[in-house]
Chain A
Amino acid sequence: MTKKQKKTIKRILVAALLLVVLKLLPLSEMLGSVFGEAEDGTPFVLRTIATIVLYLIPYLVVGYDVVINALKKIRTGDFLDEEFLMMIATIGAFAIGEYPEATAVMLFYQVGELFQSIAVGKSRKSIADMMDICPDTAIVLRDGSEEEVDPSEVSVGEIVVVKPGEKIPIDGLILDGTSSLNTAALTGESLPVEVTPGSPVYSGSINLTSAIKVTTTTEYENSTVARILELVENSTDKKSRSEKFITRFARFYTPIVVILAILISVFCAIFTDLGVSGSIYRGLIFLVVSCPCALVVSVPLSFFGGIGAASRRGILVKGSNYLEALSKIDTIVLDKTGTLTEGAFAVDAVHPNQIDADTLIDIAAVAESRSHHPVAESIVNAHGKHIDPSRLGDVEELPGRGIRAVIDGKEYYVGNGKLMDEVHADFHECHLPGTVVHVAMAVATGDSEAAGNSVAADDGATEGNKEKVSEYLGHIVINDVLKKDSPDAIADMRRAGISDIVMLTGDNEKVAAKVAGETGIDKYYAGLLPGDKVDKLESLLDGTRHVAFVGDGINDAPVLTRSDVGIAMGALGSAAAIEAADVVLMDDRLGKIPEAIRISRKTMRIVKENIAFSLFVKIAIMVLGALGFADMKLAVFGDVGVLVLAILNSIRAMRIPKSS
C-alpha cells in the first residue's frame, strides 16, 4: 500500500468515527440547550450553522482533496468529472439540510476511490512481478576479470557470466558450461530446458544448476526480454473498441447527466409539491449515481488482466484490440510446415527389399553421412549409432537424383525414382506419402569398370548400357513429422467453438491429405505458392468470418498481416515473428491457441458484464431517483457499490481459465 492509500484509510476511519458519533449524539437537544429552542428566529440559524460546522469536520477530513481538486479544475474550464459531481452533490445535500447524508456520500466515494486504487495497484504489481524477467545487472568478463555492468552496456560478442539462480541478461550462445534453464517467464512452460556449449539461450530465462558463460549475439535493446517488455507495456496503447467506446461515452455522459439533474430539479420544483429542497434532492441522487468511474476503470482493468493472464502462459497479445478480435475468431487457418508439423524431417517408414531394415538404414546413413541436406540428416538421425567414416569411400552427388557412394568396397545408389530408373533397379514407388529415398546396390556384370562408371557420366547413354543393372534393396520414407500435440490442439480448438479449421501448404496433395487426416482437419489447400496463401486467405475473408492465421512467422508475414488476427508461434528467438504477428506464442505449441481464445473470451465476457451491469444499475437508480423511489443511500450504492463490484469482476480476468 502506498503512503497516499494509508493516509486515505486514516482519513476515512476518522471521518467515519466522527460521523457515527454525531449521528448518535442527541444533537438537536444539545444544540437546543446551548442556543435556545428552535421556535424563535436567531437561535435557529445559529443552531443550523453549528450543525453544519460539526458535520463539516468529518466531511472535510475525508473529502478536502476532492473539493480542492474540483475547485482547481473549475478554473481550468474542463471540470466536468467525478470529483466535480461529488462536490456539487455533497454541497447540494448540505444546502438542503441533509448533513449526515452529504458526509456519508463523500465518505463512500473515498472508500470506492481507495478500493479502486488498491485493486489497480494490485493488478499492476502482479503484472510487474510477471514482467520481472529482466536482471538489473550483467556480469561481463573483461580482460579476464568479472565486471558488473548495466545490461544495456554490454556489446555484441562479449562474454557474460550467469551464476545459478540468476537470470540471463542478454540473448547469446553458451560458450562454456552445462546447465538447465527455467524459461517459464518466457514460454509459460515450467519444464527446464537442458543447455550445453553452443546452445542458444534467451534473456529472461533463469539459470538453474551451474554457472555458464554466454557469448552475446545481440544488444540488450534487441534481446528477447527487452522486446517482450516493450510489447507488453505498449499493448494497452492499441485500444479495443470497447475501451474507445467507454472513453467517448464518459466524455458525453457527464455533461448530459448534469443537465438532466438540473432539469429534473427544475421540473420537480415547478410541477410538483416537493418544494425546493425536495427537488434538489432528486437531482442530487442523479448526480451521485451518475459517476462513470465503474466503467472507465473496470474496462481497461479487465483487458490488462486478460493480457497479463495470457502473457503468463507465454502468449503475448500486442493490444487490447487484438484480444477483442481473438474472442470473435470462428475460423482458424494454419500453415502446415512448422505449425502443425515440426518442420524437421524424420524417417517415417522403412521398407526393405531382401535385406533387413537395419541394414537398409545403415547403408543409407553411411552413404548420406557427409551430406547436410535435411533428408540426409534425418536418415543419419534414424540410424542413431556411430558411423565409421572410413567405411565410406568414393561419394558422388547426382544433382536432382541422389548420390552414388562406395561403402565397404561396394557401390550403392541412394536417391529418388529417377535415379533408380537410370541404374535399372527394379524399384517400385511407395504407397505412403512423403519423400521416398530408394537404395540400390550396383551389380557388377561384365566389364568391372562399367560398374564403377559414374551414372552422371553416361547420363544420355544408359539406353545402350544394358549390362549396368542394380539390385533394389528397398526404400525409406521420410516425412515432416507431426507435432505430438497437434491433433489434441485441433480437437481443443473445435471444443473452443472454432467452426472452420483450414490448412494451407505448399506440399503436394498426398502429404497434405495425410497431415489433415492425422490432425482431424477437414479442409486443406495443397500445392500453394507463398502468394497463393494470401489469395486463399482473402477468399476466406468474406466479411462474415473472423479469421485467424497461424504460422511460424518466417515466410508468412504477408498472410499474418492480412488476417484478422495473425498468430506467430515459436517466437522465442525470432524477431521476425514478433514483428509480424498480432499475437505471439513464445513456444511452438498449438495448444496455446485454444487457451488464448479462452482467455480472450473470458475477458470480453467480463467487459460486457461490467458494462451491462453498471449501466443497468445506474440507469435503474436514476429512474427510481427521478420518480422519488430512491434515496441517497441507494445512490451511493449505485456509485461506489457498482464500482467495487465491477472492479472485483474485472480482477477475475487475471486468472487463467481452465480448459474445458
Chain B
Amino acid sequence: MGEKVLIKGVEAIAESAIRAGCRMFFGYPITPQNETPEYMSRRLPQVEGIFLQAESEIAAINMVMGASAAGARVMTTTSSPGFSLMMEGMSYLVGMELPCVVANVVRGGPGLGNIAPAQSDYFQATKGGGHGDYKTIVFGPSTVQELVELTYHSFDLADKYRNPVVLLTDGALGQMMEPVIFPEMRKLNTLPEKPWALTGALNREKNIIMSFEMDPKILENINWELQKKFQKISEDEVKYEEYATDDAEFVIVAYGTIGRIAKSTVKALREENIPVGLIRPISLWPFPYGVITQLVPQVEAFMVVEMSAGQMVEDVRLAVGDRRPVFFYGRPGGMVPSPRDITEKVKQCLSMLLS
C-alpha cells in the first residue's frame, strides 16, 4: 500500500482503473466526468495504454466492446444522457458475455436536465437499462477511497463473471477531493487468461463472440445460463455497510453520496439518544435485500433517502413488504438533501409513528 494522495473522485476512478490493469479507455466528453478521460489521456500513454476520444457515446461503448472482445481490460465513463446512449451496447455486452467497467457519473434528468448530482439513473443501472433480460453488477460508492477500491475490484469481477460492471456515482463525489490510498499497480502478467478472446485463430479453433441465436429453443437456454450467472452473483457479490443498527428501531436506507450524508444524520440523532441506524447498500445490484429483511422484526419503520423522486425505495419495499412502514424522502433534479433536512424528516416520521 502506498501513501495518501489527495485526489478528485473522477480522477481517482482513472488512476484506480490503471492500477487494476486497464490499458484501454474510450470516452466522449460530458460533464461532470470530463476529468476521467482527461486524466486517462495523460496517464495511459505513460503505461503503454491507449486513450481514444470516440465520436459519440455510442461509438465509445462499441470500441469498448471491440477491445473487450480482443481480451483487453477496458473502461469508459460517462454521465446520464451518455449512459442512455450506451444502453444498446450494454445489452450486447451482456449477451456477448464481455467484461468491461462503465462509470456513470449521474446528473439531474430527465432529458438534458442539468449537471448537478443525482441518483435518478438507479432503475436504468440496476434493472438492466437496455433491451432483453439482463443485469449488470452495480456499485454505489460513498467516499473517494471506496470509489478507488470498487473501481479496482470491478475489473476483477467483470473478468470473473464475463459481464459489465457499472460504477454509479455523481458529481458531488466525482468533484470531491479526498485523501486516498491507491492499491498496488497490478502486474499485467497476473491478469486472468482469456482463451475466448479474438486474437486471430492461429493454431486453434476460431472464436466467435456474439449475442445472436436464431433458434428460440437455444436462445432460451442461453438466457437461462445467463440467469444462473446472475443468480450466482446475487448470492456472492452483495455488499453493504451497516451502521448503528444493533439496537436501531428506525433504519435509514441510503447509498452513495446520500449514504454518506445519512451517516452524519444518524450520528447526530444518536447524540440525541434517538435509536436510528443506517443500511448503506454498496452493491445496488445485487441489492442487499437480505440484511433489510432481517432487520424487520426489530425495527419500527424504515426511511429511504435518495437524490431522486424514489427509485431504490421500491427495492427496500420488496425487502420489507407490508410488515413495516417504508417512508421516503427524496429530492430530484440535482438537489442534495442536507443532514439537517434528513434529521427533520426522520423526526417527522417518528412522530407520525407515535401518533
Bind each other: no
Q: Interface on B for A, CB 8 Å cutoff?
A: none
